[in-house]
């Protein structure tokens, strides 16, 4: 009798244990009782806050978020920025944290953003999984110092100018010169700490002059805009009508496309347009990329440049800013700017440099053919295109009056000549300015001298 009762008890205990284990297993394995805490992602690059822009945080969880809270806290005080109970839990929430309305008691510059979130899991006695994360951030509401010290008094479309500025901020992130908010020109350290210099250009492809700004931005996204005062000068454009032949397209355009690794269309008109428009833009982009990547950015103490000289014994066969209109079978099929000087003399004429510099490019470049680019510091480069022979290599320093190569007819050209270009941070500008001693003195070197006087007086 006792043995029977004992067996019954054992069976009941076993059943209870199995039920407990089953229920426990169900709870442990059931998605409704998942135990993973929500994930909170804050912009890790955000170290500073100007209390103007919003901050962004993402909260996510596989079971869904049912509650979150955001707290702003300094050394002594804290305030709730946002608190929300979701009637319909969401798997992912993007929270926009807006600037708090702080009273006089909030004075700290080193603060914390505390984010608390709870998911809808039934774990933790139906309370859900909870997470609290604290993010340290510095408050910076002061915009950078951004002053124009000295600059060229005027700029012509397609031309150049120089600007010397003062930029200062303990958390400075970026500073540059902007032309019409379309073109960016880098600043180069100048003379003393917190002073910079930049050659800028008015790209001939931009018709209307709007504004040139010194732009300075700190890590809290405080931004300063200072206008660079410039008078503007008009550009005299020469229009040329050029007839395109089947022979030119077959022998020149197709060959240039092939050598550049591009497919050649079947249609004569399409071949020329692809070479003249698509490939030209690709080549222009490469020039800008190379020059801005490899231009010398060492501190400028002083700057002098000789007026560039034309190819010896040559005559000018095309000028800067010639607007070329291309016709095939009496139909206009395209147009393009000619952005340099074309000089022709004898075949394979010797090319000499005018100024000392470093070779930063020496390769085949589509419509330009075999091309050499030399950097002369301050973001100024000279370009020699369509060469048949080169005597220099990338990285080499060349002195003034050095023979760097010979003229040729490589690229998209009709015959042997030198295409000479002057670049300002990769933008082709009017070489005639840089061939004029008086222009260089009044627009560049005198501006630099004046800037030094102002800086020394501070």
Question: Which residue shows structure tokens 């066969």?
Answer: 317
pLDDT digits (tens, 9 = 90+) for 137-154: 998 999 999 999 999 999
Q: What is the pLDDT of residue 107?
A: 66
Alpha-carbon distance of 449 to 444, in angstroms, equals: 9
Of 383, 323, 339, 307, nearest in space to 201 by CA = 339
Mean of all residue pLDDT scores within the chain: 90
pTM for this one? 0.86
| Ordered per-residue pLDDT tens for the chain, 458 residues | 455 566 666 665 555 555 555 544 444 445 556 778 889 998 767 889 998 888 899 999 988 889 999 998 887 778 898 999 988 888 999 999 888 776 555 567 889 999 998 988 877 766 788 899 999 999 899 999 999 999 999 999 999 999 999 999 999 999 999 999 999 999 999 999 999 999 999 999 999 999 999 999 999 999 999 999 999 998 989 999 999 999 999 999 999 999 999 999 999 999 999 999 999 999 999 999 999 999 999 999 999 999 999 999 999 999 999 999 999 999 999 999 999 999 999 999 999 999 999 999 999 999 999 999 999 999 999 999 999 999 999 999 999 999 999 999 999 998 999 999 999 999 999 999 999 999 999 999 999 999 999 999 97
**CATH number for the domain running over 34-139:** 2.60.40.1930
Q: Is the alpha carbon torsion for 353, 359, 361, 364 positive or negative?
A: positive
Of 291, 286, 341, nearest in space to 315 by CA = 341
Indicate the burial class of 94 (C-beta count within 10 angstroms; 0-12, 13-18, 19 or more): exposed
Alpha-carbon distance of 390 to 411, in angstroms, equals: 15
- Those residues whose C-beta lies under 8 Å from the C-beta of residue 282, and which sit 6 or more positions away, are 260, 366
The secondary structure element, H or E, covering residue 189 is strand 188-189
Alpha-carbon distance of 116 to 169, in angstroms, equals: 34
Domain ranges for the chain: 34-139, 145-234+446-457, 238-425
Alpha-carbon distance of 352 to 384, in angstroms, equals: 10
One-character DSSP codes across 82-149: EEEEEEEEEEEEEEEEPPP---TT---SEEEEEEEEEE--STTTTT--EEEEEEEEEE--PPPEEEEE
Q: What is the C-alpha R_g of the chain? A: 34
Q: What is the pLDDT of residue 85?
A: 92
**CATH number for the domain running over 238-425:** 2.70.70.10
Query: Is 145-234+446-457's fold the same as 238-425's?
Result: no
How many CA atoms, within 13 angstroms, populate the side-chain half-sphere of residue 93?
27
Alpha-carbon distance of 442 to 444, in angstroms, equals: 6
Q: What is the pLDDT of residue 29?
A: 46
CA-to-CA dists, residue 207 to 204, 427, 429, angstroms: 7, 15, 14
**CATH number for the domain running over 145-234+446-457:** 2.60.40.10
Alpha-carbon distance of 265 to 419, in angstroms, equals: 27
pLDDT digits (tens, 9 = 90+) for 29-46: 455 567 788 899 987 678
């Amino acid at each position: 009798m006792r043995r029977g009762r004992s067996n019954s008890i054992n069976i009941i205990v076993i059943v209870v244990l199995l039920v407990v284990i089953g229920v426990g297993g169900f709870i442990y394995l059931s998605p409704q009782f998942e135990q993973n805490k929500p994930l909170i992602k804050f912009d890790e690059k955000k170290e500073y806050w100007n209390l103007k822009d919003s901050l962004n945080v993402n909260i996510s969880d596989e079971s869904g978020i049912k509650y979150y809270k955001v707290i702003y806290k300094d050394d002594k005080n804290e305030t709730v920025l946002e608190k929300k109970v979701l009637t319909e839990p969401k798997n992912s929430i993007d929270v926009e944290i807006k600037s708090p309305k702080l009273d006089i008691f909030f004075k700290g510059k080193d603060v914390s953003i505390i984010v608390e979130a709870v998911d809808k899991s039934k774990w933790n006695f139906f309370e859900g999984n909870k997470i609290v994360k604290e993010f340290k951030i510095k408050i910076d509401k002061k915009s950078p110092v951004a002053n124009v010290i000295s600059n060229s008094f005027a700029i012509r479309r397609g031309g150049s100018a120089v600007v010397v500025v003062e930029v200062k901020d303990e958390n400075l992130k970026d500073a540059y010169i902007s032309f019409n908010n379309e073109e960016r020109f880098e600043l180069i350290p100048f003379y003393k700490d917190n002073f910079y210099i930049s050659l800028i250009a008015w790209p001939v492809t931009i018709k209307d002059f709007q504004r040139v700004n010194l732009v300075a931005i700190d890590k809290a996204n405080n931004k300063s805009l200072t206008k660079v005062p410039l008078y503007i000068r008009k550009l005299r454009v020469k229009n040329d009508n050029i007839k395109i032949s089947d022979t030119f397209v077959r022998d020149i355009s197709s060959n240039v496309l092939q050598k550049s690794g591009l497919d050649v269309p079947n249609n004569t008109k399409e071949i020329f347009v692809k070479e003249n428009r698509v490939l030209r833009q690709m080549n222009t982009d490469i020039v800008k990329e190379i020059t801005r990547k490899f231009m010398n950015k060492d501190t400028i103490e002083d700057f002098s440049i000789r007026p560039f000289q034309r190819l010896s014994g040559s005559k000018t066969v095309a000028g800067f800013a010639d607007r070329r209109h291309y016709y095939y079978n009496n139909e206009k099929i395209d147009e393009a700017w000619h952005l340099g000087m074309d000089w022709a003399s004898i075949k394979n004429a010797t090319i000499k440099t005018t100024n000392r510099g470093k070779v930063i490019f020496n390769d085949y470049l589509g419509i330009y053919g075999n091309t050499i680019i030399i950097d002369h510091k301050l973001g100024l480069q000279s370009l020699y295109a369509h060469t048949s022979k080169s005597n220099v290599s990338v990285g080499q320093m060349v002195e003034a009056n050095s023979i760097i190569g010979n003229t040729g007819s490589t690229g998209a050209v009709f015959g042997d000549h030198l295409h000479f270009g002057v670049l300002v941070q990769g933008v082709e500008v009017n070489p005639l300015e840089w061939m004029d001693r008086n222009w260089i003195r009044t627009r560049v070197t005198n501006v630099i001298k004046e800037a030094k006087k102002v800086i020394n007086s501070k």
